[in-house]
Amino acid sequence: MTMILFSGIQPTGLLHIGNYFGAIKNWVDLQKKYPCLFCVVDYHSITVPYQIKQMSNRVLDLAMDLIACGIDPKKSILFIQSAVPAHTELAWILSTVTSIGDLNRMIQFKEKSKEHSENINAGLFNYPVLMAADILLYKAQVVPVGEDQVQHLELTREITRKFNKKFGKTFPEPKPYLTSGARIMSLTDDKKKMSKSHGEESYIALSDSLKTIEKKLAIAMTDPARKRRTDPGTPKKCNIYHLHQLVSNKKDLEYVIDGCAKAKIGCLDCKKLLAKNLFKELKPIQEKRKQLEKDSEKVKKILAQGAEQANKIAKKTIAEVKAKLGLA
Ligand code: TYM
């Protein structure tokens, strides 16, 4: 049986290189290997406070970003979650085989509850159930995500097993698909993952100019043991080196390792080279993005076609699920 790939991303504003190297770059490559569905998960993003007036633009912006990164609507289905009602329908059904104890253990729920203590809503609690519905609706088995989503996928697998046991084999068990960029750390605190919520200086946006990247990297954390330029460093312990590994070629990596370990180069030299190599990766994406902005109607059409294709598959699954539940 052909394996299906599904992944989702929230329209929360700017994309950063954590999203890109942790997930999207992988999606682009995997399009060659699997039939893919990529979803802008707007229902997930309303579980935390947001600007209502900005939402429709954020969704469209994200779709443009994804296409600019290389998601090809001719090969893959790109759509908006709320345009396919079966996502929430299946989420309700799956919530009846999900244990509250399991949901209570979710790290993201604990973190977001702390961050938004004024609004700990049931949607935030049930977030992973909707994620399970996203995936199972298309019977997807391959789910490329960053490391922070692995716990949610373990829960999806548990929900799948429980559902299949109770109602008969319906869904395959999906697996996370990770790469070396699965956990990109914040520029200002290398113990935290890169996230938009830790302030502008902590992340590099896909839309950042070379100057901005240089500025953000100039103040970014390095190997804490290297206090002076004349101190030898330990590149493998340095967040800047980890970022180099994502974008720099063998020659540049050797130059950085040797230069740092023998104190032949300073952190600023290393960061300048990183900025140059990072921007080389981002520039073509930024250029394609500018082209797409001129034709937002075309992007809206792509999303409408994607929703139509997704709805077709989703309706079939819901009919099958309802029959299994004795609800048809
Ligand atoms: P979201 O929108 O928070 O993030 C999108 C993707 O980016 C990855 N990511 C990172 N990877 C490495 N390092 C980082 N610092 C970093 N920050 C973000 C995330 O792991 C994710 O893969 N719940 C999901 C969206 C979702 C989904 C799904 C994913 C909804 N339904 C079904 C897969 C399958 C999320 O919060 O993504």
Residue 86 lies in a domain: yes
In the chain, the number of structural domains is 2
**Same domain as 201, residue 175:** no
Which residues sit with their C-beta closer than 6 Å to ligand 1?
6-10, 18-19, 22-23, 41, 44, 131, 134-135, 143, 145-146, 148-149, 182-184, 193-195
| Single pTM value for the model | 0.96
**Same domain as 202, residue 130:** no
- Going by pLDDT thresholds of 50, 70 and 90, the confidence category of residue 232 is confident
Is 312 annotated as catalytic? no
Q: Please answer whether residues 139 and 99 qualify as being in contact, where contact means their C-beta atoms are separated by less than 8 angstroms.
A: no
- Residue 47 is given by DSSP the state T
Taking Cα atoms as reference points, which of 83, 86, 89, 31 lies closest to residue 60?
Answer: 83
CA 183 to CA 240: how far, in whole Å? 13
DSSP, collapsed to helix, strand or coil, labels residue 210 as helix
Q: What is the per-residue pLDDT for 241? A: 95
Residue 328 above 80 pLDDT?
no
162: amino acid identity, one letter: K
- Going by pLDDT thresholds of 50, 70 and 90, the confidence category of residue 228 is confident
- Residue 23 is given by DSSP the state I
Domain enclosing residue 29, as ranges: 5-184+296-325
CA of 9 to the centre of ligand 1 (A): 6
Q: What is the per-residue pLDDT for 13? A: 86
Residue 91 above 80 pLDDT?
yes
Of 38-47, 136-145, 174-183, 201-210, least confident by mean pLDDT is 174-183
Is 196 annotated as catalytic? yes
**Same domain as 211, residue 177:** no
The CATH number assigned to the domain holding 138 equals 3.40.50.620
- Residue 2 is given by DSSP the state P
pLDDT by residue (tens digit) across 191-213?
Answer: 999 998 889 999 999 999 999 99
Q: Give the DSSP per-residue string, 167-213.
A: H-S--PPPEEE--TTS-PBPSS-TTSB--GGG-GGG--BTT--HHHH
What does pLDDT average to over the chain?
96
Substitution candidate for ligand 1 out of 149, 153, 194 with most atoms within 8 A of CB = 149
Is 216 annotated as catalytic? no
CA 128 to CA 150: how far, in whole Å? 11
**Same domain as 251, residue 319:** no
Atom number of ligand 1 nearest to Cα 194: 15
**Same domain as 84, residue 27:** yes
Tokens at 209, concatenated: 């100019």
Substitution candidate for ligand 1 out of 5, 7, 12, 19 with most atoms within 8 A of CB = 19
Q: What is the per-residue pLDDT for 197? A: 85
Substitution candidate for ligand 1 out of 145, 150, 173, 189 with most atoms within 8 A of CB = 145
**Same domain as 101, residue 43:** yes
**Same domain as 212, residue 320:** no
Q: What share of the chain is helix, strand, coil (3-state, %, to 5)?
A: 60, 5, 35
**Same domain as 245, residue 137:** no
The CATH number assigned to the domain holding 247 equals 1.10.240.10
